[in-house]
Structure 1
Amino acid sequence: MKTSQRFHFIDNLRSIALLLGIIFHAALAYGPHFQNIWIAADTTATHPFFDYLSLWLHLFRMPLFFLIAGFCSLLLIEKYGSKGFITHRLKRVLLPFLVFFPLAGAAYSHALTWGASIVQSVPPILTLFAQMEPVLSTMHLWFLWYLIQFCTVLWLLQKSNTLLKLLLNKIVHPVSLCLVIPLIIFVSLIDQPVPFPAPDKLTPTFWAYGFYGTLYLLGAGVYHRKDKIVKITCFSKAVTVIAMMSLVTYFMIIPEAPTLTIIKQAAASGQFSPSGSWHVLQSAIQTIAIISWTALVLMLGLRYLNQQSVQSRFISDASYWVYLVHVPVLIYIQMPLINLECSAILKFIISVAVTFTLSLLSYYLLVRSTWLGVFLNGKKQNARIRAIK
């Protein structure tokens, strides 16, 4: 492939990974497994389907995003050079994080306080929060915080072009893809609960670097060998079988949901402390499911989403804004829905539909053609190679 060619499937997968955040976070409110975990959990209406949906999306959504982010980071280095790359990332990743971090914190605080004051059944985790010292969290913006760190590491590695090329060639070697990368991810996640949490603290963590950082570097390696990228679809049947088998097994061995007591103890100590041979097996199956589903979605995107339309371009441009604002919007919608006597499925449909509508409409009216649109996505004439946010 030529460098000038636009990778439409990357644009489309990027926007899908971000927009799936609405479905994922909405599903958390109605899954029995997450009733003691999620801040807008609706104890009046639950359905096991939403556990399976959220657990499945959690396996590949953010891993896919970081893989794509690494792909586009190397694209930017090749296009703009080392200095242009880091300048671009500071503008499009670090500055939005610094701006939206306090805004999101204020929105979360107001939405949860207001929601707790009107609902008849307060989400259990909010009751626990009232008994604990507040903890600084990067909320759903943690991905920006880690992305700028990974971009900085890649920028430093690029100072030695020979070393970077050697590393990228090694990471896409078949032995690395089949053995080394799975082993790194497994080791990174072994001390984390299953399903793995979001690394939403300001302090960088080893496991997030080992997990998401490896996938980010793998994405850069895929771009480095972009001339071979079409060949990955040859393995789609085998990957599909592995993905399906690992998913079914993962659902069968998923541990019980943590109690409020366990959550409180984990908050006090700063971490969960899973252990035992059963946890090792759960982590191993989770690792296989993560890798196989991320690879499968990438293959499906390459095969079916490698084209552009006016609609897909709009969605791609809007997805960054939508992700930044969607969680507070969801909380404002899902909290009053707790008092509504109807099924979890109907509440889920309402919350997703309204959140999508408000987020996309606000982008169209308030962001797209304004200074905020330039701040998030750059000038329109530069949209042709707009990078992963």
Structure 2
Amino acid sequence: MNNSRVYAFDLIRALAAILVIIFHAGLPYLTNNISPWMITDPVEGSKIVDLTVWLSHRFQMHLFFIMSGYFANQVIAKKGLATFFTARIKKIFIPLLIGGIILLPLIVEFFEKKIIPAGIFNGNFQNPYRIENWSKVLLAHLWYLYYLMGFSLLLIPMVKFSLLKKLGQFFQANSKLALIMFCSIVFSIHLMMNSPLSINDTLSFKIDWLVFGYYFVFFCAGYLINEDSNLEKISELPTRVLVFTSGASAVVSLILITIKNELAPSFSPVFMDLMISVTTTIYCLAILLAIFNTCYKSYNQKNVVFSYLSDASYAVYIVHLPFVILFQRMAYFWQVPALLKWGIVGFATLACSFLFYQLIVRYSPIGTFLHGKRAFPSA
């Protein structure tokens, strides 16, 4: 097992957080309503936004769960299961609870009242925290914490009784079979969850067991990456082949989706769904391998900027959605192209989210509670 720090993962964590913001910032500016969103902008959608949202959604949350599994292994190996459980309560359950009380009632207001920009500062926030909102089964983006807490609870007995260790040893001895099994599971769930965005992220406390199982597979994959020489094996894969495979499979998948949508009566829907699931599975796994391969080979050295972005990524993920909604509402009446709105909303959200981390979290009691005390930089 490799317990040394892998600096490449700083960049991957930062990339995952930025991708999620870019994804959410673009949802009102799609050319068609492929995803439910609280804001429908009157501007004509952008094909570039469509493409970016489609591409990123198929792997962005996977990065988070793979990283979570990897760091779970690190904590358990260094400090044991008891410390791991305590850390999960501090870093996942309590932020989920506090985020639910502070952030979610406000988001519910947006969903229910369809607030327009003209009224955003003159009464629409009169009662955003009314008690009945607290009982709404709406998790919004905090579903990630909810599922991650569930994964952590499942992981404890699996580690306690050496189930993951035995599974890892089996996969090491039967690497080809392990690859076939992993691809088959991902493909099967893609096929069963046939939808425009491929994976329907849950938004409520009612667990979607298909989604839960899907991301748990990637969580366990992240846990097992830390075993033996798995990272080295990934880094030895040909980068150009991975990039080409991910690009080619994405193009083929998009062509198939277009054919299905425009020429559906001429083709068997079962066959089309099967082919789309095959190509999206190849894209998902190839792009993930390409990211880990490239970052591990090219960026696995200490970098102050990447370390800072990585440290901020968790807080940025938690706080970004209200900023996204606010800026999307402010941009509602702007007479500018969708692509420009998307860029402004995304940049403003990134700036405010990282500023929030710097001013409110990093050196505050919140940051100390989550990550330990940091020395404030001297002048």
For residues 35 and 281 of structure 2, the distance between their equivalents in structure 1, rounded to whole angstroms, comes to 25
- Cα distance change, pair 135–366 in 1 and its aligned pair in 2 (3 A): closer
Match of 1:220 in 2: 223
Give the whole-Å Cα distance in 1 for the aligned partners of 2:101 and 2:191.
32
Q: Is the 8 A contact 1:168 1:217 kept in 2?
A: no
In the other structure, the counterpart of 1:232 is: 234
Other structure's SS at 2:333 match: coil
Q: Distance in 2 between matches of 1:135 and 1:278?
A: 37
Structure 2 counterparts to residues 247-266 of structure 1, below 5 A:
247-254=250-257
Q: Secondary structure at the match of 1:32?
A: coil
Structure 2 partner of 1:369:
363
Deviations 1:13-51 (A, max 9, x none): 112212221111112221213366222232313110001
Task: Indicate the residue corresponding to 1:178 in structure 2.
Answer: 179
Q: 2:30 — aligned with what?
A: 31
Of all paired residues, the percent bearing the same amino acid is 26
CA contact (8 A) 1:112 1:331 kept: no
Are residues 1:340 and 2:343 paired?
Answer: no
Matches of 2:168 and 2:202 in 1, distance apart? Answer: 25
Q: What is the CA deviation profile of residues 140-185 of structure 1, one whole-angstrom value per residue up to 9, with x for unaligned ones?
A: 1111111111111111111112x32111233454224431011111
The answer to whether the 8 A contact 2:34-2:196 is kept is no
Contact 1:188-1:206 within 8 A present in 2 as well: no
**1:79 CA displacement:** 0.7
CA distance in 2, matches of 1:141, 1:298: 25
Aligned length: 349
Distance 1:256 1:98, change over 3 A: farther
2:171 and 2:110 map into 1 onto residues whose CA distance is: 43
Which residue number corresponds to residue 308 of structure 1?
302
| Alignment-derived partner of residue 169 in structure 1 | 169
Superposed, 1:41-60 pairs within 5 Å as: 41-60=40-59
Change (3 A) 1:257 1:360: farther
Identify if the C-alpha distance between structure 1 residues 63 and 170 changes in structure 2 by more than 3 Å, giving closer, same or farther: farther
Per-residue CA shift, 1:55-93, capped at 9, x if unaligned? Answer: 111111111221121111111110111111111111111
Alignment partner of 1:207 is 2:210: yes
C-alpha distance in 2, partners of 1:135/1:290? 33
Q: How many angstroms apart in 1 are the aligned matches of 2:99 and 2:147?
A: 15
Q: Which residue identity lines up with residue 69 of structure 1 in the other structure?
A: S
CA distance in 1, matches of 2:287, 2:83: 33
C-alpha deviation, 1:298, in angstroms = 1.2
Give unmatched runs, 5+ long, in structure 1.
Answer: 121-133, 259-274, 382-389
Cα distance in 2 for partners of 1:328, 1:177 equals 41
Q: Which moved more, 1:134-143 or 1:96-105?
A: 134-143
* Distance in 1 between residues matched to 2:112 and 2:323, nearest whole Å: 14
Give the match for residue 287 of structure 2. 293
User: Separation in 2 of the partners of 1:155 and 1:279?
Assistant: 37
What is the alpha-carbon distance in structure 1 between the residues aligned to residue 168 and residue 339 of structure 2?
45
Superimposed CA distance per residue, residues 163-217 of structure 1 (whole angstroms, 9 cap, x where no aligned partner)? 3211123345422443101111122232212322112232223312331111111
Q: Hey, what does 2:144 align to over in structure 1? A: 143
Q: Distance in 1 between matches of 2:45 and 2:72?
A: 40
Partner-residue secondary structure (3-state), 2:115: helix
CA distance in 2, matches of 1:254, 1:200: 25
The aligned counterpart of 2:14 is 15
Whole-angstrom distance in 2 between the partners of 1:6 and 1:32:
43
**Structure 2: gaps spanning 5 or more residues:** 120-134, 262-268
For 2:82 and 2:102, locate their aligned partners in 1 and report how far apart those are by CA, in whole Å: 30
TM-score, with length taken from structure 2: 0.85
